[in-house]
Amino acid sequence: MEKLRHISGSIVGLPVNDIDTDQIIPARFLKVTDKAGLGKAAFCDWRYLEDGETPNPDFILNQPDYAGASVLVAGNNFGCGSSREHAPWALLGAGFKAVISTDFADIFRNNALKNGLLPIVVDRDTQQQLFSLAEEAPGTEVSVDVEAQALTLPDGRRVNFPLDGFSKYCLLHGVDQLGYLLALDGDVRAFEASNPQRVKTTV
C-alpha cells in the first residue's frame, strides 16, 4: 500500500444516493483475486453500453472534461450492500484516491481504508457545493491533508473530516493491518522472551 499524505486533484460528481457495491463493481467480476485491470470494471453497468465494451457517452466518468479526476464526490450512503474488497480495488484502479460523501456504509468504509482509499465524510452543504463546482467548472481541484484530516475547497475553506487514529497511521505510513503487525514482530518476540510465564506460545 502506498503512503497517502496529501491528495491534490480534480473532482467529478456522481449525485446518486445509495450507490451499492454491486453498482461500483458487479458481482461477475468478483471471481478474480488480482487487482490489475479492475479499474475498467468500476461502475461497469453504467459506464458501458449493453455490449460491455462501448463507453456510454452519457455517463459522467466517460466525459472528457472529467478525465483524470482523482476525487469522486458521491451521493449519500455510498458503498451500501454486500462486503467486497473489489469495490475499493476498482475505484483505486480507476484513478480515485478519495471519495467524498455525507456518509458511507461501515463495511465499505473499512474496506476502503484497509486498501488505501480515503473516504471523506462532509456535511450536506459542502457536498452540494462540490456537486455544483464539478458540474459548472469541470477540472475544479481540491486538496486533502490526511494528517490534519482537512479538505480544502477552491475558495480556501477548510473542512475537517473524521478519521480514526489507527487508519490514519496506516495511510500515512503506507502499511495495512498485517504490515503493521509484522513491523512489530521484533517487539512481540522480545516481550515473549522476557515474560515466559505470561506468554505461552506452544501447545
Domains by residue range for the chain, with CATH: 6-174 (3.20.19.10)
How confident is the model at residue 193, as a pLDDT? 84
Q: For residues 115 and 3, what is the distance between their CA atoms, to the nearest angstrom? A: 11
Residue keyed to cell 463507453? 55
Q: Which residues contact residue 161 at a Cβ distance below 8 angstroms, ignoring those fewer than 6 apart?
A: 120, 121, 122, 149, 150, 151
Q: Are 37 and 93 in contact (CB under 8 A)?
A: yes
How confident is the model at residue 201, as a pLDDT? 62
Q: Looking at 13-105, list the stretches that DSSP marks H as alpha helix, in order from N- to C-terminal side.
A: 21-24, 44-47, 86-93
pTM metric for this prediction: 0.91
Q: For residues 9 and 152, what is the distance between their CA atoms, to the nearest angstrom? A: 11
- Beta strand segments in 136-189, E: 141-145, 150-152, 158-160
How confident is the model at residue 188, as a pLDDT? 85
How confident is the model at residue 87, as a pLDDT? 96
Local confidence pLDDT in tens for the 203 residues of the chain = 899 999 999 999 999 999 999 999 999 988 877 788 899 999 999 999 999 899 999 999 999 999 999 999 999 999 999 999 999 999 999 999 999 999 999 999 999 999 999 999 999 999 999 999 999 999 999 999 999 999 999 999 999 999 999 999 999 999 998 888 898 988 888 888 888 777 666 65
